[in-house]
């Protein structure tokens, strides 16, 4: 009786078409600028059909975000093998910034969006470093902490992880927002800023003579 499976497969194919259409438009123009009607037209459905597969625009957006979070976590797997904890942290920062600057609209939806992540019941496994990027960072920090890499008065790995995250997030989010038409400030390249930021924070947090 493979007919239930076929129905389920067709259902997911339809959802996939909608998600693909939505992704292209969101990434190109951002959340607010894309309408459900545009998504529907590109996916070759009527606007109302989207509401059969997704509760509303926010839910559709949230489904895309989950894919993105998974992609980021997967990106981190590339640096999981680095033995030296501090060097691994530096590479995590670089990978994160690279992801953010390569997909600025994704990033905006993931970490700079005002609301629509609200009431999220994600099906990502939390605390699993393979799927949860924050858990991956936290583990690297804990490794470094256990190895005595940090200054002795720093005894809260969670705070350290959040600070490191915030440092790179600050660089990339500022660049994403201000990148367009802001001759007000003579911006340095994000790559330079990321390098200086990781060097500064890690040196500032690390124990020992420089």
Partner DNA sequence: ACCTAAACTGAACGTTGTTCAGTAACCGGA
Partner DNA sequence: TCCGGTTACTGAACAACGTTCAGTTTAGGT
168-to-41, 64, 95, 161 alpha-carbon distances in Å: 38, 23, 10, 11
Site string for its own copies, 127-146 (x = CB under 8 A): -------x------------
Which tokens is 92 given? 């995590």
Q: Where are the alpha helices (DSSP H) in the chain?
A: 3-29, 36-43, 47-53, 57-77, 85-102, 104-107, 133-146, 157-178, 190-205
Give the number of other CB atoms < 10 A from CB of residue 54. 20
State how far the Cα of 195 lies from the Cα of 114, in Å rounded to an integer: 28
In whole angstroms, the minimum distance from the beta carbon of 4 to its own copies comes to 34
In whole angstroms, the minimum distance from the beta carbon of 42 to DNA comes to 12
* Residue of the chain from 1, 4, 83, 119 that contacts its own copies (CB under 8 A): 119
Task: Tell me which residues in 47-66 interact with DNA (CB under 7 A).
Answer: 47-49, 51-53, 56-58
* Residue of the chain from 11, 35, 179, 196 that contacts its own copies (CB under 8 A): 196
State how far the Cα of 179 lies from the Cα of 193, in Å rounded to an integer: 13
* Residue of the chain from 9, 155, 159, 179 that contacts its own copies (CB under 8 A): 159
DSSP 120-178: ----SPTT-TTT-HHHHHHHHHHHHHHTT-B-TT---HHHHHHHHHHHHHHHHHHHHHH
Residues 101/190, Cβ–Cβ less than 8 Å? yes
In whole angstroms, the minimum distance from the beta carbon of 59 to its own copies comes to 15
In whole angstroms, the minimum distance from the beta carbon of 155 to DNA comes to 45
* Residue of the chain from 28, 29, 35, 128 that contacts DNA (CB under 7 A): 35
189-to-6, 147, 170, 199 alpha-carbon distances in Å: 50, 33, 14, 16
Binding of DNA at residue 1 (CB under 7 A)? yes
In whole angstroms, the minimum distance from the beta carbon of 112 to its own copies comes to 6
In whole angstroms, the minimum distance from the beta carbon of 30 to DNA comes to 11
Positions that interact with its own copies (CB under 8 A): 30, 32, 108, 111-115, 117-120, 122, 126, 134, 154, 156, 158-160, 162-163, 165-171, 173-174, 177, 180-182, 184-188, 192-193, 196-197, 199-205, 209
Which residues bind to DNA, rule: CB under 7 A? 1, 3, 6-7, 10-11, 14, 34-38, 45-49, 51-53, 56-58
């Amino acid at each position: 009786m493979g007919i239930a499976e076929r129905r389920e497969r067709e259902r997911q194919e339809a959802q996939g078409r909608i998600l693909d259409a939505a992704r292209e438009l969101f990434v190109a123009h951002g959340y607010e600028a894309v309408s459900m009607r545009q998504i529907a037209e590109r996916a070759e459905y009527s606007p109302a059909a989207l509401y059969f597969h997704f509760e509303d625009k926010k839910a559709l957006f949230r489904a895309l975000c989950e894919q993105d979070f998974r992609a980021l976590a997967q990106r981190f797997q590339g640096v999981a093998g680095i033995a030296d904890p501090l060097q691994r942290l530096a590479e995590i920062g670089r990978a994160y910034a690279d992801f953010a600057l390569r997909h600025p609209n994704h990033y905006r939806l993931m970490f700079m969006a005002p609301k629509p992540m609200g009431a999220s019941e994600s099906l990502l496994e939390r605390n699993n470093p393979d799927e949860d990027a924050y858990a991956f960072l936290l583990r690297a920090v804990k490794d470094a902490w256990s190895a005595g890499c940090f200054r002795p008065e720093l005894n809260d790995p969670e705070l350290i992880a959040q600070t490191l995250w915030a440092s790179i997030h600050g660089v990339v989010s500022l660049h994403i927002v201000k990148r367009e038409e802001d001759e007000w400030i003579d911006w340095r390249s994000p790559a330079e800023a990321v390098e200086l930021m990781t060097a500064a924070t890690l040196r500032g947090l690390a124990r020992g003579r420089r």
